[in-house]
Amino acid sequence: MTSDPKGYYTETFPAPGLRQIFRHITGHNEQGQSVFLHSDHGDHYRLMVEKQAVANILYSTRETPVDLNDNVDIQKAKAEEPPFHYQSGSIVRMIDFGPGVESPLHRAMTIDYGIVVEGVFELLLDSDEKRIMRQGDICVQRATAHKWKNITGNGTLPGRMMWVLLDCKPVIGADGKKVEGDLGDLKKEYVGRGTY
């Protein structure tokens, strides 16, 4: 991610100026009734863009369908921070962006549901097409090259987005060749963390 430094730094989630979120995980009690197992803020955080953004992994699964028996999925999600995405799995990632922070152009071999939680963002594709997204707007990224820019308050306020990343089958381009993922400068944020 690149940014226009404005003296905005974060040390943890949430980023300054954004509210703390709660994650509620449900399960079953011994009588088979639905119950809340955990209410917390998530297990894994990653500071990014020289501390001008922070990612919070709300949940991840390593396979589809997911094994929910004996809370195996909860144990796996808590055990370690996931890579950018899991093949055959899922990741729910929330990122707090500092004012004016912009991601590099990147493409993940996933289908991503991107939701603006707080603020206003510009979504730019490699064709130079762009859209402005506001709170509640959703983008379905289908293994396409794109970048995000937080333009909340004309680039003076923090913003927050959430993505649900799911694996996809190989994508074949118009030229008949397999499309490859490329995180660009984001790659350094996930070195040693697996697939993208």
pLDDT at 196: 45
**Residues present in the chain in total:** 196
Q: Mean of the pLDDT values across residues 111-130?
A: 98
User: How far is residue 190's CA from residue 176's CA, in Å, rounded to a whole number?
Assistant: 29
Superfamily of domain 44-189: Jelly Rolls (2.60.120.10)
Q: What are the pLDDT digits (tens) for 33-75?
A: 999 999 999 999 999 888 899 999 999 999 999 999 999 999 9
User: How far is residue 151's CA from residue 159's CA, in Å, rounded to a whole number?
Assistant: 8
Q: What are the pLDDT digits (tens) for 168-190?
A: 999 999 999 999 998 888 877 77
| DSSP annotation string for the chain | -B----S---SSSSPTTS----EEEEEE-TTS-EEEEEEES-SEEEEETTTTEEEEEEEEESSSS---GGGHHHHHHHHS---S--TT-EEEEEEEEPTT-BPPPBB-SEEEEEEEEESEEEEEETTS-EEEEETT-EEEEES--EEEEE-GGGTTS-EEEEEEEEE----B-TTSSBP--B-GGGGGGGTTS---
pLDDT at 194: 58
184 versus 5: the higher-pLDDT residue is 184
Structural domain spans, the chain: 44-189
Band of pLDDT at residue 3, cut at 50, 70 and 90: very low
Rg of the chain on CA atoms, in Å = 17
Amino acid symbol at 126: D
Q: What are the pLDDT digits (tens) for 129-158?
A: 999 999 999 999 999 999 999 999 999 999
